[in-house]
Structures are given as structure tokens and as C-alpha cells.
Amino acid sequence: MNKAEEALRSFSGNFNCAQSVFSVFAPELGLEREMALKIATSFGGGIAHLDELCGAMTGALMVIGLKHGMVKDEDIEAKEKTYALSQEFAARFKSRHGSLRCTELIGYNLSNLEDYEKAKEADVFNSCCTKFVKDSVEILEELLELKK
């Protein structure tokens, strides 16, 4: 099973989009899957259903940070590389989907309970969000050369 399939399998259960993307890369980057799942929990559904950045994208940004992030105060180069890769990821994601925000991507504001219920009824998590999860994994594999 490739990473995109693994992420989609995770997403088809009860894990959110951010968890599904972040957790498939974390082990090869030195972080146990269980810890990755915990870290990413708050970032699904537009960051805890707050009508913000797509969770599949935030999961991807965490992968970029885990691989290239700054760990020493003087390592400005690592910070700049992480920002540059994050910006490139965002550009590629946006070119495929037209937006980076959860609400704009799925057409429902998950911070509103009525909209959240409508989103579930419309099956947007399967019809839309699976594409965002799959594409985030694929973009990461291309961008970070992590394909296995």
C-alpha cells in the first residue's frame, strides 16, 4: 500500500485529514505514528472546525517542518527552507483546488453546527476531502522526494 492509500484508509476511519496526512510520513522522519496522530488531532476540519486552513494542508506543513524545521536558534537557513517548501506546497495545493481554506474548499462552514450536519449529509468528507488528503500526500512526495 502506498502512502496515499494509507492516508485514505486512515481518513476513511475516524482520523481527520491532518492526522491522516501527517501520520503516514512521521515514522520515517523519526516520530512515532501514535504521537503524530495526537499532535495532528486539533488541525482537522479547518483547524478544529474553526473555518481556517484545510487540515490536509496543515498535516502536510507539519511533515515539512518535521523534515526540515529549525531546531537551533542560529539555523535561519532551515527556517527559510521550511518556509519556502511550505509556500511551494501551498501554491501547488491551491493550483489544484482553488483555495487553502476548508470552508471555501468544501462549501460548508464546519464551525456552524447546521452547516456541519449539511456537510455530512452531502458526504463532502468523502466526495471532497479524500481528494485533498490524496493530493497533499502526492504533493509532499514530489516536493520532499519521499516516495517509497
The DSSP output letter for 125 is I
- Domain total in the chain: 1
Residue with cell 485529514: 17
Residues spanned by the domain of 108: 3-142
Distance of CA 106 to the CA centre of its chain: 15
Residue 148 lies in a domain: no
- Whether the CB-CB separation of 139 and 92 falls below 8 Å is answered with yes
Q: Each residue of 82-135: pLDDT tens digit?
A: 999 999 999 999 999 999 999 999 999 999 999 999 999 999 999 999 999 999
Residue 28 lies in a domain: yes
Q: Each residue of 15-38: pLDDT tens digit?
A: 999 999 999 999 999 999 999 999
Residue 95 lies in a domain: yes
Residue 147 lies in a domain: no
Grid cell listed for 90: 501551498
